[in-house]
């Protein structure tokens, strides 16, 4: 609808995306449109892009809380293997065959300093989700390949598998895991 726009701005530690509404009482056109804006944000290799969305999008987002999450990180020349549980939330915004997932995960207990805070978009058809690339955050030491995420969204349940993409680094690290989550909003 006329008068609405999208604002994208960078703060010190994140990108803020907001829907800007027209002023109260403003005369606007009546059309079926969606405001959009394209932005290019440079980020360092192997770094994530923290994203904060406005209340409009938070209200449209479905939020899932992790009920079961198991991950492992392995690799290095010493062949290290670390298994840990994960907790947190995943926000899901969908439109047609596309979905954006906002991950806010951390390790549990002694591993609570491990974080996977990332936003990724991909396809969602007939309840099947596929994200081609997700940074593993500190769930894996570096150097590490990105993760491929696949799973299902059925009713109030979200199930995701995290698998490492191929890498050319012989002594690098990689993460993999599985989560189950239940809808809370």
Phi–psi pair at 59, nearest 5 degrees: -70, -30
Give residue 150's pLDDT: 97
Residue 41 and residue 112 share a domain: no
H helices of the chain, in order, are 55-60
- 30 shares a domain with 71: no
Same domain, 89 and 37: no
Contact 89, 157 (CB under 8 A): no
Whether the CB-CB separation of 175 and 140 falls below 8 Å is answered with yes
CA distances from 68 to 46, 112, 119, 139, 178 (A): 27, 15, 20, 16, 8
Distance of CA 139 to the CA centre of its chain: 14
Q: Report the CATH number at residue 132.
A: 2.40.128.120
For residue 19, being part of any structural domain is answered with yes
In this predicted structure, what is the pLDDT of residue 152? 96
Tell me, yes or no, whether 97 lies in a domain. Answer: yes
Q: What is the pLDDT of residue 36?
A: 65
> Which backbone phi and psi does 109 adopt, to 5 degrees?
60, -125
User: What's the pLDDT tens digit per position in 94-114?
Assistant: 888 999 999 999 999 899 999
66 and 138: one domain? yes
Measuring CA to CA, which residue among 59, 84, 89, 57 is closest to residue 71? 84
Question: Is residue 96 situated within a structural domain?
Answer: yes
Q: Give the strand pairing for 157-164 and 147-154.
A: antiparallel
**Residues of the chain where predicted confidence (pLDDT) is lower than 50:** none
């Amino acid at each position: 609808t006329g008068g609405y726009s999208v604002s994208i701005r960078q703060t010190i530690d994140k990108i803020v995306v907001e829907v800007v509404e027209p002023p109260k009482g403003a005369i606007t056109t009546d059309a079926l449109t969606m405001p959009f804006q394209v932005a290019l944000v440079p980020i360092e290799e192997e770094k994530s892009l923290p994203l904060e969305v406005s209340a409009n999008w938070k209200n449209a987002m479905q939020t899932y809380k992790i009920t079961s999450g198991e991950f492992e990180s392995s690799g290095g020349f010493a062949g290290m293997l670390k298994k840990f549980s994960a907790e947190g939330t995943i926000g899901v915004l969908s439109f047609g065959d596309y979905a954006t997932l906002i991950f806010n995960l951390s390790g549990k207990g002694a591993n609570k300093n491990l974080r996977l805070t990332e936003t990724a978009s991909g396809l969602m058809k007939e309840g099947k989700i596929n994200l081609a690339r997700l940074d593993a955050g500190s769930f894996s030491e570096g150097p590490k390949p990105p993760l491929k995420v696949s799973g299902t969204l059925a009713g109030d349940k979200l199930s995701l598998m995290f698998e490492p993409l191929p890498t050319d680094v012989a002594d690098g690290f990689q993460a993999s895991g599985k989560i189950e989550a239940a809808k809370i909003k």
